[in-house]
Amino acid sequence: MSEAIRTDAAPAPVGAYPHARRVGNLLFLSGVGPRQPGSNAIPGNVHDADGRLVGYDIEAQCRQVFANVRAVLEASGAAWADLVDVTVFLTDMQRDFATYNRLYAEHFAGIDACRTTVGIDALPTPIAIELKCIAALPAQPR
Ligand SMILES: O=C(O)C/C=C/C(=O)C(=O)O
């Protein structure tokens, strides 16, 4: 069984891809950032009068990206506890790792998902964090 999942509860993809794809009991999530579903606003981003990004709040972005991952999981019939592998992309590792790592620990306590954190130059939208997740659903349907 293979099924693509799309939902209005998470920010719209910025290209030709679904929010997730389920293959058997494995659920592969596309990369998701902290844009707000329905508006594309990015929590904590600060712009100058000309609209240029002059600062951002990594804590607000972390909380929203975790909420967006949860929304995709729930739209797919999965739960936060089903996460087994998480890849995290940060555009400013030096500035943001400690805050992100603290919030990650709060959200993933008891989950024991594997994790990899990668520093990168940029993401397709002006965000500071993106998550790429894999979940394993229980064998029995919920
Ligand atoms: O969700 C975003 O804001 C940006 C993420 C984009 C991608 O992961 C992609 O285009 O592949």
pLDDT in tens, 85-135: 999 999 999 999 999 999 999 999 999 999 999 999 999 999 999 999 999
Pocket of ligand 1 contains residue 101 by CB under 6 Å? no
Ramachandran category for residue 98: left, alpha or beta (phi over 0 → left; psi -120 to 50 → alpha): alpha
- Among 35, 123, 132, residue to substitute to test ligand 1 (most atoms within 8 Å of Cβ): 123
Pairwise CA distance, residues 134 & 142, whole Å: 18
Dmax over CA atoms of the chain, in Å, equals 54
Q: How many CB atoms sit inside 10 A of residue 94's CB?
A: 8
- Name the nearest CA neighbour of 69 among 103, 25, 120: 103
Beta carbon of 34 within 6 Å of any ligand 1 atom = no
- Residue 17 CA, closest ligand 1 atom number: 11
Q: Is pLDDT at 142 greater than 60 in this prediction? A: no
**Looking at residue 140, what is its pLDDT?**
60
ipTM for the predicted complex comes to: 0.95
* SS3 label, residue 58: helix
Prediction pTM value? 0.95
Q: Record the tokens describing residue 85, joined without a space.
A: 């592998």
